[in-house]
Amino acid sequence: GQLRAVFTRHQFDVVIHLAGEVGVRPSLMRPADYVAVNVGGTLSVLELIKEFGVGQLIFASSSSVYGKRIPGEDFVETDLPAPISPYGATKMGAESLCQAYAYQYGTKVTVFRFFTVYGPGNRPDMACYKFTAAVDKGVPLHLFGKNTRRDFTYVGDIVEGIVKAVQKPVVFEVFNLGNSEPQTVARLVEIISAALGKTAKIVWEPLPAADVPFTHANIDKARLLLGWTPQTKLETGIDNLVAWYKINSAL
């Protein structure tokens, strides 16, 4: 009802759908919630887009749709999805609905698979924020899997990708948006520690079953079709995150 009211009050050329139930590990505990929001919620958006004749949709998916890969290989959009968590599965389901609606009703759809987005405004449950808070407060920091690597992508670069997609509508395409420079979580903590000028107290834990050991975006397609290239190195992005954190943690 509330969503319908928004579509009734306003006329949209583009809908950018970033909402969802997030987090891999919590999805193991509440899979029904994730299906209801990520699949059911996306269907509600698609139905309203169809009804109100909105021409373009940009949908936020996730690198989680890829699942576990052979170490050393990057993730390409044409790879067969193989999610290993309910979260990843719901994002894959939502992508499929987007594709079906694009085909059936002619809405132009861009699907973005985001890779570990971080920066100012970071969700408190995400690694970059949690690590920053732990190092700042001097509490033990639990790291999962010594060789775990993530393709950390700065939020400003993600926004730039979304803007480019708005400017270049496509019939239906899936794009990776990632930094394409995976870093170990240990290196991430080093950078955060340096930015804060404090020492981390690390406790190593085994990698949880729902977590993948690494992510690595192949971004050739986004470069070619959207003219998008990430601009922000992890050190610069973490400096910006830490500056934001210091202001907001003091409030």
Tokens of 235: 């050190």
Spatial separation of the C-alpha atoms in residues 151 and 132, rounded to whole Å = 18
Which residues are the active-site residues? Answer: 87
Neighbours of 133 (CB within 10 A): 15
CB contact set of 127 (below 8 Å; sequence gap of 6+) = 116, 118, 150, 185, 188
Residue 16, class by beta-carbon neighbours within 10 Å (0-12 exposed, 13-18 middle, 19+ buried)?
middle
